[in-house]
Amino acid sequence: MMVMGTFLFVLLLALLILLFLRQLWSRRHLLPGPLALPLVGTLWAYGISFREDYFRKPVKRYGNIYTMWVGPHFIVVLSGFKTVKEVMTSFPEEFSGRVEDAFVIALGKKKGIIFSNGHVWKQQRHIGITTLRKLGLGKKSIEHQIEDAAQTLVETFKKTKGQPFDPSIPVINAVSNVICALSFGHQFEPEDENFQKLIKALEIIVKFSGSFFYVMFIMFPRLMNYLPGPHQDALTSIEVINSFAKQEIEKHKESSCLHEPQDFIDHYLLQMEKSRNDTNSTYNEDNLARCIFDFFGAGSETTFTVLMWALLLLTNHPDIQEKVQKEIKEAFSSSASISYQDRKKLPYTNAVIHEMQRLKYVLLVGIPRQSTKDVKMKGYHIPKSTMILPDLRSVLLDPEQWETPEEFNPNHFLDKDGKFMEREEFLPFGIGKRICVGEQLARIEIFIFLTNLLRAFSFRLPEGVKELNEAPIVNVTMQPHPYKLCAIPTKA
């Protein structure tokens, strides 16, 4: 019996050594990175829990292009501006795919804009971009809706009467209502039960993304489907948003405004009608519902997080806040409205907004891509279906590009004469063919919300508080810790 046990132990050891040597041989042409072990991949080296420097720390050892394994998923991480720009511009088509792990498939069902690929993605992205243009993105029509939401936010802040309050709920309500106006043609009252269910569902999905259970779900999806946990709440929340979108679609079909489309659903239904006899068309209600899901997921959460960081940073840096307010006051009378085009009159304000997005980038790393074919890069082999991770945080904090990368410094976006200057290293909305569809919408929202708020209030620390916490809650989205501030009405 003991001999048999010894034999089995030696056999198992030999098999593990053989597996190890086979792995080394099969990966000899792959990029540098730690050894991947069965099941856990390279998580033993990098850790399961995310940290703020999770994707930047390995650069010191492996260089600006390195590899990771999460279970069976092979990942190539690109770090720093020069590397990200060179690789993503050299292989625009090859690295334009979307990852198809278990949770991504659950999120998008390979439909919509963000989580689809190939012909489906091209058609959905096309209608997303063209509809935003038709709805007046960059013109007064969409700006009026954003201005209305901003004014509602100002009125809500006024009700606090200068007392400490948490701005997160009114901010998420305002930002989400912009997406509602764009998608459905109407906004909701903040206390609307269905509207709050929608916001809560989005919050659950965001909190789950990047968690321990998220990693386990990606690695062992079949097993996790049978186990309880926060992943089940996230899956339920996906369906809550999807059902909400489908109910709005049904309402639009009943009202039939296709002769004069007013919102994204109207424009999409019109396109479905035009493409009814096209056998290659992917315009259908399932893709429409997923597009709406994408607008909420990408549009609400990211803009909300930017604004929350903005209010925090402005409160912590009253000198910068006062310079912005002074510039706005000198450029506009108290009764004049400020449009997005007016940013040219406000170079310092524009620089501050860009600097806040740079320093407090809202994502941990950026949205992953997937290689659509085998690629030879810098002498290394990157197989088809490899996850490509452009680390946009490393770009925005690249010490080779930014004078003081870890500091809140609006001068990063100002020339010697105090004029605003664009920076090609400023890539919060991505790079290449998968660049964010809603980039222009987000830029308009952030500018209008912040200029309206800073005209109406000075943001101050509550009594007894020396500074708001600038460390993020580390997740897929990098939100600030909950905080309170005082909105003190400014003198007209």
Task: Please give the annotated binding residues for heme, written as ranges.
Answer: 436
Mode of pairing for the β-strands spanning 375-377 and 380-382: antiparallel
Gap between the Cα atoms of 461 and 470, Å rounded: 13
User: What residues pair up with 457 in beta bridges, in sequence order?
Assistant: 489
Pick the closest to residue 124 from 136, 133, 115 (CA basis): 115
Gap between the Cα atoms of 427 and 404, Å rounded: 17
Helix (H) or strand (E) holding 340: none
Pick the closest to residue 412 from 343, 354, 470, 327 (CA basis): 354
Q: What is the DSSP string of 456-477?
A: HEEEEPPTT-------EE-SSB
Gap between the Cα atoms of 153 and 451, Å rounded: 12
Gap between the Cα atoms of 314 and 352, Å rounded: 9
User: What letter does residue 363 receive in the DSSP assignment?
Assistant: B
Gap between the Cα atoms of 81 and 84, Å rounded: 5
In this structure, which amino acid lies at residue 175?
A: V
Sign of CA dihedral 116, 122, 123, 126: positive
Q: What is the DSSP string of 134-183?
A: HTTTTSHHHHHHHHHHHHHHHHHHHTTTT--B--HHHHHHHHHHHHHHHH
Annotated binding site: 436
Q: What is the DSSP string of 96-128?
A: -B----HHHHHHHTT-TTTS--HHHHHHHHHHH
Locate 486 and state its tokens: 């005082």
